[in-house]
């Protein structure tokens, strides 16, 4: 599935613009702690969303690892053995 198709499935609309996000492939990760939940602002239509901006909170059943890369800039990683992104949102 293309990025645009995945965006449409999640948001219920096409992206307004295409762009690139800089992504650094880390040489290694430094564990910072454990994530017990995540919140984000989104206008999704799936998972009970109506396409309007709302804050979505997902509490994790099992804690996930929070890590940073060796540059300690711009990127944070949330890693969990049961963590996945579905059409309904983030699931654990």
Q: What is the pLDDT of residues 62-80, one digit of tens each?
A: 889 999 988 877 789 999 8
What is the pLDDT confidence band of residue 49, given thresholds at 50, 70 and 90?
low
In this prediction, residue 65 carries a pLDDT of 93
pTM: 0.67
Contacts of 78 (CB under 8 A, 6+ apart): 35, 38, 64, 65, 66
What is the pLDDT confidence band of residue 24, given thresholds at 50, 70 and 90?
confident
Domain count, the chain: 1
- Segment 2-29 shows an average pLDDT of 79
CB 53 within 8 A of CB 42: yes
Give me the domain span that covers residue 14. 3-91
Percent of the chain at pLDDT exceeding 70:
90
- Give the burial class of 89: count Cβ atoms within 10 A of its Cβ; 0-12 exposed, 13-18 middle, 19 or more buried: middle
């Amino acid at each position: 599935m293309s990025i645009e198709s995945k965006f449409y499935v999640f948001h219920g609309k096409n992206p307004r613009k295409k762009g690139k996000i800089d992504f650094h492939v880390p040489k290694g990760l430094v564990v910072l702690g454990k994530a017990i939940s995540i919140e984000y602002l989104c206008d999704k239509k799936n998972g009970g969303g109506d396409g309007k901006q709302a804050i979505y909170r997902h509490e994790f059943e099992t804690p996930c690892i929070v890590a940073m890369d060796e540059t300690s800039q711009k990127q944070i990683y949330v890693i969990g053995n049961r963590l996945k992104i579905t059409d309904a949102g983030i699931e654990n």
